[in-house]
Amino acid sequence: MSSVRSSRRRDFLKGIASGIIVGLFSFASIVYSFPRSLKIPGLTTTKTITRTEPTTITETRTETLTQTITKTETKIVTALSTSTTMETVSTSTSISETSIPEEFSQLAKNIPGAVGFNPVLDNGRVIYYEVYDSRNVLIAYAFEIKVVTCPDIVVVLGVIDLDYRVVAVDVKPSEEASESYTTWWTRAVDSRDFEEEFHGLSVEELYLDRDGGKVHAVSGATLSSKAITEAIRKKIETLISGKDHFDTYKPPYPCPTPMG
């Protein structure tokens, strides 16, 4: 009876042991064959590369320039009451086109590059001209004055450079010249030799040679030569100072009896 019980206990333990072994084997098979696609992946890092390229933008702009020259002249006027007032005269010159006054057509040939004579006005009166080249650059000044040459009247045209030295001078009879004087006085000073005496002279040199200057008087027309020389000098002094403009010069000394 006891032997039968022992046999049954052994069989029971063997069954339990066999079940445990089979279970372990089955669990191992399931784990090994588990799909990899179902495995939980680890962390993934994604890099983003941003490339910046320089861009050049070219802007083209066209401008049209008009040159306007504005001059301001200030005069000091002193009254008898010793009070002083300021009078300002403004002139504006616009360079727009090529223009040379007919009376300056010959003198303009002595100014290389000159294409425009632009008048500078004072109360509507032309006091002198500014001479410009084709680039609208100021290169000289020009003026016209009447000179009483005891007592005939001549017209003097002059051109000076930016250093106020004489470039050229032209003396010619005025329409107001009288018959009796034109035959001698005017013809005496209306000569190329006398006109060339002024070339290259500065203000300090514009005197007759007998007065310490470099202008030789025309023989027999000394007073006329002196009057023309003084007129040119004083006109240039006016351009330098910018005041006391004049267009007619009358010498302060008396005239002699006419000759011829």
3-class secondary structure per residue, the chain: CHHHHHHHHHHHHHHHHHHHHHHHHHHHHHHHCCCHHHCCCCCCCCCCCCCCCCCCCCCCCCCCCCCEEEEEEEEEEECCCCCEEEEEEEEEEECCCCECCHHHCCHHHHCCCCCEEEEEEECCEEEEEEEECCCCCEEEEEEEEEEEECCEEEEEEEEECCCCCEEEEEEEECCCCCHHHHHHHHHHHCCHHHHHCCCCCCHHHCCEHHHCCCECCCCCCHHHHHHHHHHHHHHHHHHHHCCCCCCEECCCCCCCCCCC
pLDDT at 153: 85
pLDDT at 149: 80
Q: Chain-wide mean pLDDT for the chain?
A: 74
Full-model pTM: 0.61
Instruction: Determine contact, residues 148/227, Cβ cutoff 8 Å.
Output: yes
Per-residue pLDDT tens over the stretch 150-186 = 767 889 999 999 999 999 999 988 876 655 555 566 6
pLDDT at 222: 87
Residue 245: pLDDT band (50, 70, 90) is confident
The yes-or-no verdict on residue 64 having pLDDT over 80 is no
Q: What proportion of the chain, given as a percentage, has pLDDT over 70? A: 59
Mean pLDDT across 224-241: 94
Mean pLDDT across 192-215: 95
